[in-house]
Amino acid sequence: MEQLEQALPYTNMNESSLMYFKHPKRSVKLSLPVRMDDATVRVFQGYRSVHSIALGPSMGGVRLRAGLNTHECEVLAAIMTLKNAVADLPLGGAKGGIDVDPTTLSSAELQRLTRRYTSELVELIGPREDIVAPDVGSDEQIMAWMLDTYNENLGNNTLGVVVGKPLPLGGSYGSKGARGHAAAGVTRRVLEDRGESLKHASVAIFGYGDVGRQCAQRVTQLGGRVVAVSDSGGGAYDSSALDLDALNARRDASGTVQGFATALSPAELLSLDVDVLVLAYDYGSIHAGNVQGVRARYVVEASNRAVLPEAERALKVQGSVVIPDLIASIGGVIANYLEWVQDASNFFWLEEEILNAIDARVLASVNAVLDLARAQHTDLRTAAYALALEKLHTASELRGVYP
């Protein structure tokens, strides 16, 4: 709310429409009893928060993460509302998931938990109500289980309730790699706007999962030098540039980048003296406790809320530019939107058409934020917030208040 209120002077938003933003439309907490492989029953906690439907049905990820709670879901749902608005999509924001470390469960246990979670939400989700997507800890397989459970419960075969699905189940080309691919493109555009270039720039990537990997590949294609990456197992560093083909082969074989090139810890990666630091791990990667070590000139939020507010204030003081999640990770929501549209029409585009559509929409959104930031002499996050809030204000005013 602190950062949101900084954007209010650049909008026409009034107290009435601001009230809609301050309070999520709906948050639910679920008790999920699941029979484990050893025949015991364990009860997990599940969550789903719908923040806004002012612009259209809500859409947001399902995360499987130990320690997940209602507050985290509500914060991330609000960010999804803003991100969809910045991307000019007819969608609101949502977020949910389960308090669990999925790596501690067998495949059968994970499937039973996923299906139980979906069954509890079946009357609240839907292609015209609330669309679910992958997030931290979930993937195409989990989306496939959710799709099947939803349709088994309702006795139909609706595809658009879930996005990020496998291709044979109504998924879309470009879905898996869109966020990382777009984060690199957004970075290039922001640097160009400031008279700089991504070509030959040194780049470190914190979080080498699907998003980080795709970002690294796109950065390399655009002429940048990926000098360091890290995952939960460790990190790898080469001051010239990492050999991504060899690095990916190593990670595919061992499950980690640890042991490739010069070893470094994830914490050490955050303090490298590089041109660009890409955050592709999770919420709160840079916080008050570690921000003083960050030396990158540009910090890119390829994951939602990767830089916490106090840390962002410190980065501004030291001269680092934060490229916020509302534009840096926008490729994912655009890809999800395009999959949803294809499912609704039952007409699917070619891979080249999808990638071109994602790139065009990402560029339009970033340019709109850059133009507003320049016109109002403000930072990128404030400009992105202002752009989104103005769209939400207009929609709320047009809808009015239901008696």
Q: Which two tokens stand for residue 327?
A: 């534009």
User: Which one-letter amino acid corresponds to residue 125?
Assistant: I
Residue 391 is among the residues annotated as catalytic for this protein: no
- Structure-token match 């559509």, residue found: 357
The 3-state DSSP class for residue 32 equals strand
Q: Are 299 and 307 in contact (CB under 8 A)?
A: yes
- Structure-token match 């969550």, residue found: 47
Query: How long, in residues, is the chain?
Result: 403
| 3-state SS string for 106-159 | CHHHHHHHHHHHHHHHCCCCECCCEEEEECCCCCHHHHHHHHHHHHHHHCCCCC
Q: How far apart are CA 207 and CA 270, in angstroms?
A: 11
Q: Which two tokens stand for residue 226?
A: 């990926």
- Structure-token match 């916080």, residue found: 287
Q: Are 389 and 21 in contact (CB under 8 A)?
A: yes
Which one of the listed residues 95, 165, 176, 391 is annotated catalytic? 95
State how far the alpha carbon of 370 is from the alpha carbons of 199, 274, 366, 392, in Å: 20, 23, 6, 19
Q: Are 33 and 119 in contact (CB under 8 A)?
A: no
The three-point CA angle 56-333-13 to 5° equals 50
- Beta-carbon contacts of 22 under 8 Å, excluding residues fewer than 6 positions away, are 1
State the sign of the Cα–Cα–Cα–Cα dihedral 265, 271, 275, 277. Answer: positive
The residues annotated with a catalytic role in the active site are 95
